[in-house]
Structure 1
Amino acid sequence: MKDNIKVKETAVLSSNWGILNEITFEIRTRNGRWEKQVRESYDTGDGATVLLYNKTTGKVILTRQFRLPTYLNCNPGGILTEACAGLLEQDSPEECVIKEAREETGYSISNPQKVFEAYMSPGSVTEIMHFFIAEYSKDQKVGEGGGLEEEQEDIEVVELDFKEAWNRVETGKLKDAKTIMLLQHLKLKKILQDFH
């Protein structure tokens, strides 16, 4: 496929947080014809997310925080309930979710299990998200969570019954894609089957 793409020009439109590029390229279509296209691509780096679950209680740990893009698109208040996540920066995906779980939820997890990875918005964003699940128990609570003040994070930690979390998916109250995917993984693999 690489021989079917020719990047002609890349122009940086913005580089404040991530990098927004305008890319001019030629692509060979399925009928063999070369076609010129111009697209924008946003690069914030890759990320990782983890859903904490407790097999004994049937609960999951989620977070609630303000997300400006959702506020701008039909989410009054802009608050989103989601699994904790962060950008990899210099960390491996495993190191990232261990760090983010501690910062955002206050839980010190070990041995997170990677379940898959996915492009989250491939039409415009380069990010690959690495998805993990990890068991937690009350004795792993080492702090309050809430995120880092220097990153302007103001995160509420939410512990929900799995059944309630899944009900929020089905009723449209929980709209974060990565969280829906991880809850669905728990459901499909029957990890909390006694609590469905």
Structure 2
Amino acid sequence: MKKFEEKTINSKTIYDGKVVKLQVDDVRLPNGQQAKRELIKHPGAVSVIPITKDNKIVLVEQYRKPLEKSIIEIPAGKLEPGEVPEITAMRELEEETGYTTSHLTKVTSFYTSPGFANELMHIYLAKDLEKLTVPKALDEDEFVEVLEVTLEEAKKLVEEQRIHDAKTNYAILYLDTQELL
């Protein structure tokens, strides 16, 4: 038995959508009591820290409906069924920024909200970017504006809470501590 394991007694799918599945589990706690757990099942996601040849960070601004505002982020997207994260990273880089690279390096992976979701975010560093001669099309429901900023400008965007999500904050901290720029 795993430390503090909660045994599932019953599981009910409430919603099975394009991006997430919501389920409610009845569980037996380590002390023998029962509880309910509301869970979001997610296929996983990938984000990319794109760095231009002149050491600018390529970011995208887009509207996020759950927040009811636009925020500035590193490019990201969800894994398609059976897709390896490197393929997703390259696709999202090309679609969202108009850049490609032959230098994609895995930085880390982390769970975005382990209290209620199983989404695993993979982060890649993309250096030596090349502009695509023919830009890839965005998803039909996706609208983004591309920005290229210095590390100092990115840190200012964090202070202003225009960068206000975990993956992008992680990326800025990573770049700052690794002294890559």
Contact 2:103–2:128 (CA under 8 A) maintained in structure 1 = no
Counterpart of 1:179 (choices 156, 168, 174) is 168
Classify the secondary structure of the residue corresponding to 1:112.
Answer: strand
Shift of 1:121: 0.8
In structure 2, runs of 5+ residues without a counterpart are: none
Counterpart of 2:107 (choices 115, 123, 132) is 115
In structure 2, the CA distance between the partners of 1:156 and 1:171, relative to structure 1 (3 Å rule), is closer
Name the residue aligned to 1:44: 42
Deviations 1:8-27 (A, max 9, x none): 01111111231100011112
Distance 1:147 1:155 in 2: 9
Match runs of 1:143-182 below 5 Å: 143-144=134-135, 147-149=138-140, 152-182=141-171
Question: What is the TM-score when the length of structure 1 is the normalising length?
Answer: 0.84
Q: Percent identity?
A: 29
Name the residue aligned to 2:91: 99
Match runs of 1:50-89 below 5 Å: 50-54=48-52, 56-71=53-68, 78-89=69-80
Counterpart of 1:23 (choices 5, 9, 25) is 25
Shift of 1:39: 1.1
In structure 1, runs of 5+ residues without a counterpart are: 72-77
Contact 1:146–1:153 (CA under 8 A) maintained in structure 2 = no
Give the alignment's Cα RMSD to 1 decimal.
Answer: 1.7
Classify the secondary structure of the residue corresponding to 2:126.
Answer: strand
Question: What is the TM-score when the length of structure 2 is the normalising length?
Answer: 0.90
Distance 1:62 1:35 in 2: 47
Distance 1:49 1:124 in 2: 21
The structure with the greater share of residues assigned to helix is 1
Distance 1:147 1:92 in 2: 20
Shift of 1:96: 0.7
Distance 1:145 1:136 in 2: 19
Distance 1:142 1:185 in 2: 30
Shift of 1:114: 0.8
What number of residue pairs does the alignment pair up? 178
State the one-letter code of the partner of 1:34.
Answer: G
Distance 1:43 1:8 in 2: 18
Distance 1:176 1:87 in 2: 16
Distance 2:71 2:171 in 1: 16
